[in-house]
Amino acid sequence: MMKKPTSKRRTREMRPEYDFSGGVRGKYVVRYRPGVNFAHIDPELAEGFPDSKSANGALRALVAIAARVEGRKRA
C-alpha cells in the first residue's frame, strides 16, 4: 500500500486573506439564537424576497396551500 503524499500547504500560519484582526467577537450571536433556522436562497429567488417578512409570508401561504391540497387527497 502506498501512502498518500502529505500536502505542502498544511501550516499553522493563517493566510493573509484571512485577516480577522479587525473582527468583533460575538457581533452577530443574537441573530443565531436557538429556534432560528437559516436557509440559503439562490440569488434569483432572493430578488423576490427583499426581507424576512416577505419570505415568511410566501412560505406561510405555500404551507396553507399544501395543507388544503393534502386535505383534499384524504377526503
Task: Please state the domain extents for the chain.
Answer: 50-75
Confirm whether pTM is higher than 0.75. no
Q: What is the pLDDT of residue 61?
A: 97
- ∠ CA 16-42-58 to the nearest 5 degrees? 135
Separation between Cα atoms, residue 65 and residue 58, nearest integer Å:
11
- Per-position pLDDT tens, the chain of length 75: 677 766 666 667 878 888 888 889 888 887 777 777 778 889 999 899 988 899 999 999 999 999 999 888 776
Q: What is the pLDDT of residue 21?
A: 87
Separation between Cα atoms, residue 63 and residue 69, nearest integer Å:
10
